[in-house]
Chains A and B, each alone.
Chain A
Amino acid sequence: MLDLVGKRNLWFLLSALFLVPGFISLIFNGLELGIDFTGGTNWDLQFEQPVNTDEISQILDENGFGDNVVQLSDDNTVIIRMAEMKEGSPEKDAIESDFIDRFGQFEELSIVSVGPSAGQAIRDRAVLAVVLASVGILLYIAFAFRNTNNPLLYGFCAILAMLHDAFFVLGVFSILGWLADVEVDALFVTALLTVIGFSVHDSIVVFDRIRENLAARLAPTFDEIVNYSIVQTLVRSINTSLTVVLTLAALWLFGGETTRWFVFALLIGVVAGTYSSIFNAAQILVAWESGDIKRAATFWRRDRVAAPETGAAAHSR
């Protein structure tokens, strides 16, 4: 049989390799926050005549919106990102009449304006939502696995796998923000929360099998039971993620522009979720039970507190 558990350190290393670039990018670049979080205006206009982005930018500048980014899209569509311009404000009227004077008629495809205080509130809520979701799931898993030796440990491992997936998505979007100016918005938070749910969903399926196999005393050691459980659920994990990936890929390719990055976030999150459910969640369980984590902690402490506190290493044993 495939020995997945025996190579767990390799899987952890692979995860680290996937996560590290994102972490570095998150530390140095952070995320390119969209107007949902920072406040500002996104304005999409479609002109009847070809337009020049520099001139549009200049018109905005003349009307007191110097800090603007103007992009040209298909069919004379212009995407403007600027400081908050309120709907129905005199500034907006002035800019619109300047546009008409210079380029002729246009259609307003969409305009989103968020005030700075609203942006801050959304940011706070987003963080709170992620924390609440984690706590809710942790509690539910602890409840569902209350008959095992260590219910909280299952919840904890699921949360670690979930953080792996969430940080992978965050890292990729941080890099995308840096390379391609991809912004994260409220929809991104939605995608992130869904990835969290999906990730836990996947981990639970494996845990559930472990629970069942433990009860049946299927193998002599915990390692073997976990390995057997992972192998048993492997096909299912891959098939499920394939169905979800297929539907998401269809959405990504054929769905509209508005949800493209949202779907992309879901897509990579689901793939990461499948990886972590096979190679992380249950494997961390083994690492804990077999004392790997304790050994690593002891090693780390001994390494750090070399001379001054000789008692530390012995103490922690």
Chain B
Amino acid sequence: MRIKTWYTLVFIAIITLVAGWITLPTDVLNFNGAKDDFYVREGLDLQGGLQVVLEARPPEGQDVSGDALEGTRDTIDRRVNSLGVSEPVIQTRGDNQILVELPGVDDPEAAIEVLKATALLEIIDTNGQFPSLGSYVNTSLGPATDGVTAESEIQPDTSGPTYTTIVSGADLVDAYPTNDSLGSVVVGFELNSDGADKFFEFTSTHVGQPMAIVVDKQVINVATINQAISRSGVITGLNRQQVEDLALQLKSGALATPLEVVQSRTVGPTLGQDSIDKSIEAGLVGLGLVAIMMILYYRVPGAMSVVALLIYTAIVFALFKVIPVTLTLAGIAGFILSIGMAVDANVLIFSRLKEELRRGRSIRVAVEAGFDHAWPSIRDSNISTMITCAILYWFGQYVGASIIQGFALTLFIGVAASMFTAVVVTRNFMRILLDRSWFTNHWWLGVESTQQPEFASGD
């Protein structure tokens, strides 16, 4: 028993050290950059930036398929990369929406213009050359700079040759992954009659030569023409993933779905910094008040629980950095609230402990009974909170996204971690104290004298 207690203590110490190490600022004790990936992700409301929900508004009579939405998402992804925003979030949401979060963007209006623009898909004649994937090219429909905005960090070079556009997205009817006669996966595509004529005219005279697929002036694929293609053709020589990606790309290029802004949030950086400072202050005051109350009321166990609470704070912050959790104002509120809930487990245990002592039990028996009897309440109540968190997380996906999800996630992590610190850590501390010969006075446990409760005699 005693040996097990010490093992557990070593285990707690290791966890605390690791968590503390991760929690410390990234540049403290950063051996060989081991901590480079562990830093606090600040949400939009803290560091400022833009969040926008775009809704696909296809022309009358057309539906937005899931594939087309994925393709549009990829297009936006590429554009956002060209903006040089760190840690953007680009997610499809529901059937026809795309959520974009761009932290730290200082010109939201320009950014929205970039996002909203319809992707321009072109198949170009590369004059026998193989331009490298991802490079920007001039085409007969416009210079390479059309693919980016004036604010972009990457400004393509327009000095290269201008390639002739054979067909564009408007000529494309459909694209899909399929199998060719040999059974390998290929991208199949179909053109409208106008496009078919142009494409046949070009491919019949350029067999054996390359052509490139370009989206927003950026080369995404280069293929060699094997034979003349008219209304429909296939692109071979790609692995399954590439086939799926290219089919999506072509399909969304074919649809050229216009996007409409249905929701947007912009937060300036000053408001965010102000909020962080205030929340930290609030957190410290809250933690301090709880610590004072616990020590005054529960004395030694109270002090133990405050130590456990500090370990708890280190663990939760370390988890925020490792998972990583994007911290928002609501997330910080969730964390501060979870401090209160973490203490609740200890309040339950210690109240029980006092009761057992008053019933005349020895300290050792009372401590163990306190933990054992309080456990079902702690478990059941925390699980119900976690259920609520899960539903909140789901709800958050459809609303201000990261704002509410941040709250749900931090509260969930907090409640989960609190079960470890409040139960395992404090119990272990108490067990170690129980082995000290001087730890016999009930006063240490906040009980003045032994008294019998009314029902104890069983009347």
Contacts and interface: CB of A to CB of B under 8 A. Distances in A.
Interface residues of A, number: 78
17 contacts: A87-B112, A107-B270, A108-B266, A112-B265, A115-B262, A125-B398, A126-B399, A129-B395, A187-B330, A190-B395, A190-B408, A205-B381, A236-B347, A243-B344, A244-B344, A248-B286, A255-B279
Of the candidates B267, B384, B387, the one having the most CB atoms from chain A within 10 angstroms of its own CB is: B384
A250 B455 contact: no
A253 B283 CA distance: 11
A126 B395 CA distance: 7
Interface string B237-270: 0000000000000000000000011111111101
Given A118-B263, A242-B293, A254-B282, A204 B329 contact: no
A117 B439 CA distance: 65
B7 to A, nearest CB: 31
Interface in B342-387: 343-344, 347-348, 351-352, 355, 373, 376-377, 380-385, 387
B384 A200 contact: yes
Contacts of A107: 268, 270
B266 A87 contact: yes
A201 B411 CA distance: 14
A246 B400 contact: no
Q: Which of A93, A136, A250 has the most CB of B within 10 A?
A: A250
Nearest to A115: B262
B455 A219 contact: yes
Interface centre among B262, B279, B407 (most CB of A within 10 A): B262
B262 A109 contact: no
A171 B398 CA distance: 25
A251 B333 contact: yes
Interface of A: 1, 36, 44, 46, 86-88, 92-93, 107-115, 117-118, 121-122, 125-126, 128-129, 132-133, 136-137, 140-141, 144, 186-187, 189-190, 193-194, 196-198, 200-202, 204-205, 208-209, 212, 218-219, 228, 232-233, 235-236, 239-240, 242-251, 253-256, 258-259, 262-263, 266
Residue among B113, B388, B389 with the highest chain A CB neighbour number at 10 A: B388
A197 B394 contact: no
Nearest to B398: A125
B290 interface: yes
B277 to A, nearest CB: 9
A254 B336 CA distance: 12
Nearest to A93: B109
B286 A251 contact: yes
A260 B144 CA distance: 49
A251 B281 CA distance: 8
Given A190-B404, A251-B282, A86 B261 contact: yes
B328 to A, nearest CB: 10
Contacts of B339: 243, 247
Interface in B107-146: 108-110, 112-113, 116
Interface centre among A202, A218, A244, A262 (most CB of B within 10 A): A244
A204 B384 contact: yes
A232 B355 contact: yes
A246 B263 contact: no
B387 A137 contact: yes
Interface in B292-308: 293-294, 297
A114 B261 CA distance: 9
A237 B260 CA distance: 50
B392 A110 contact: no
A196 B388 CA distance: 8
Contacts of B82: none
B45 to A, nearest CB: 7
B337 interface: yes
Contact of A248 (B116, B274, B337, B343): B337
Contacts of B352: 236
B391 A193 contact: yes
A247 B286 contact: yes
B322 interface: no
B454 interface: yes
A35 to B, nearest CB: 10
A151 B120 CA distance: 61
Contacts of B389: 197
A128 B283 CA distance: 32
Contacts of B262: 114-115, 117-118
A254 B52 contact: no
Given A137-B387, A263-B333, A246 B289 contact: yes
Given A46-B270, A248-B337, 7 more contacts: A113-B264, A140-B384, A190-B392, A194-B411, A247-B287, A247-B289, A263-B333
B92 to A, nearest CB: 15
B53 A118 contact: yes
Contacts of B264: 86-87, 111-113
Contact of B109 (A92, A126, A249): A92
A100 to B, nearest CB: 15
B268 A109 contact: yes
Given A112-B264, A190-B392, A200-B384, A251 B271 contact: no
Contacts of B289: 246-247, 250
Contacts of B110: 88
B351 A129 contact: no
B64 interface: no
Identify the 4 closest CB pairs spanning chains A and B, nearest first.
Answer: A197-B388, A244-B340, A247-B286, A250-B286
B90 to A, nearest CB: 17
Given A129-B391, A208-B376, A255 B381 contact: no
B260 to A, nearest CB: 8
A246 B340 contact: yes
Contact of A205 (B274, B340, B377): B377
A219 to B, nearest CB: 6
Contacts of B398: 121-122, 125
A244 B268 CA distance: 31
Contacts of B355: 232
Nearest to A224: B455
B405 to A, nearest CB: 10
B403 interface: yes
